[in-house]
Amino acid sequence: MKKTYVIGIDGGSQSSKVVIFDQHGHVISEGKQPLQPMHMPEPGIVEHPDDDLWESIVQAAAEAMNAFPDTYDKIIGIGLCTIRFCRCLLDENGDLAAPAMSWMDERVSRPYEHEREEVRYVTTSSGYITHRLTGEWKDTAANYQGMWPINTDTWQWSEDPAVLAAYNIPRSMLFHLKMPGELLGRVTEEAARLTGIPTGLPVVATANDKAVEALGAGLLSSRKGLISLGTYIAGMVHGKTNPKNTAHFWTNFAALPHEYLHESHGIRRGMWTITWFKELFGKAWEQQAEIEGAALEEKLNEEAASVPPGSDGLMTVLDWLAPADQPHKRGMMIGFDGRHTRAHMYRSILEAITLTMKNNMDEMQSELDIDLEKLIISGGGAGSDLMMQIFADVFGVPAERTVINGAASLGAAMSAAVALNVYESFEEAAKNMVQADQTFYPKEESRLFYKKMNEEVYQHISTYTDGILKKAHSVFS
Q: What is the pLDDT of residue 1?
A: 64
d(CA 201, CA 61): 14
Q: Please state the separation of Cα 319 from the chain's center in Å.
A: 18
Give the dihedral sign, CA 291/297/302/304. positive
Task: List the end-to-end C-alpha distance of the chain, in Å, as a whole number.
Answer: 63
Residue type, 278: K
Q: Please identify every stretch of the chain with a pLDDT value under 50, giving residue numbers as ranges.
A: none
Q: What is the pLDDT of residue 192?
A: 98
Angle among Cα 300, 301, 306 to the nearest 5 degrees reads 105
Angle between helices 342-368 and 385-395 (to 10 degrees): 40
| DSSP per-residue letters across 399-437 | EEEESSSSTHHHHHHHHHHHHTTSSSSHHHHHHHH--EE
pLDDT in tens, 184-224: 999 999 999 999 999 999 999 999 999 999 999 999 988 99
Provide the whole-model pTM: 0.88
pLDDT in tens, 246-288: 999 999 999 999 999 999 999 988 998 998 998 888 777 777 7
d(CA 184, CA 174): 15
Give the residue from 410, 390, 408 showing the smallest Cα distance to 399. 390
d(CA 106, CA 324): 9
CB atoms within 10 A of CB 95: 14
| pLDDT, averaged across the chain | 95
Give the residue from 413, 102, 461 showing the smallest Cα distance to 314. 461
Residue type, 38: M
Whether the Cβ atoms of residue 408 and residue 216 lie closer than 8 Å to each other: yes
Q: What is the pLDDT of residue 406?
A: 74
d(CA 8, CA 78): 6
Q: Which residues contact 183 (CB under 8 A, 6 or more apart)?
A: 202, 203, 204, 205, 419
